[in-house]
């Protein structure tokens, strides 16, 4: 995964927590290619706005409370990029389906880019 700004990384962390509900901070650090302390800081900032729980120690984790959802987007940045890459090669019906998929499940950050697909 390419380097993201802190706000983008936190948005992706929330997307991951919504889909997995629970993960280890070390897994997030490896995924985003940042230090574990960076993830700890991100989680502390997110905890001020979202119902996130953490546990320390051998079985430590970060967890989003059950039933809570923040973002409609379910496609990761990488998945969206692949769809943008293949879009020019699609026929009309396929392009309409992919555009709809991106509009319904893509990130708000890519909204203009998605709406510009013709």
Residues in the chain, total: 118
Residue 71 predicted with pLDDT over 70:
no
Q: Are 71 and 14 in contact (CB under 8 A)?
A: yes
Q: What one-character DSSP code corresponds to residue 31? A: H
pLDDT in tens, 47-67: 999 899 998 877 779 998 877
Report field, pTM of the whole predicted structure over 0.85: no
Q: How confident is the model at residue 70 (pLDDT cuts 50, 70, 90)?
A: low
Domain ranges in the chain are: 6-64, 77-115
Portion of the chain with pLDDT greater than 70, in percent: 92
Tokens of 28: 């997030």
The CATH architecture one would assign to domain 6-64 is Orthogonal Bundle (1.10)
Q: How confident is the model at residue 43 (pLDDT cuts 50, 70, 90)?
A: very high
pLDDT for 51 equals: 92
């Amino acid at each position: 995964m390419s380097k993201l700004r802190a706000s983008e990384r936190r948005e992706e962390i929330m997307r991951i927590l919504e889909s997995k509900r629970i993960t280890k901070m070390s897994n997030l650090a490896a995924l985003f290619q940042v230090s574990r302390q960076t993830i700890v800081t991100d989680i502390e900032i997110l905890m001020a706005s979202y119902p996130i729980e953490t546990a320390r120690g051998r079985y430590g984790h970060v967890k989003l409370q059950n039933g809570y959802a923040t973002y409609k987007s379910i496609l990761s940045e990488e998945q969206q990029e692949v769809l943008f890459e293949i879009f020019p090669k699609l026929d009309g019906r396929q392009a309409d389906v992919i555009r709809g998929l991106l509009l319904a499940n893509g990130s708000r950050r890519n909204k203009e880019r998605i709406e510009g697909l013709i």
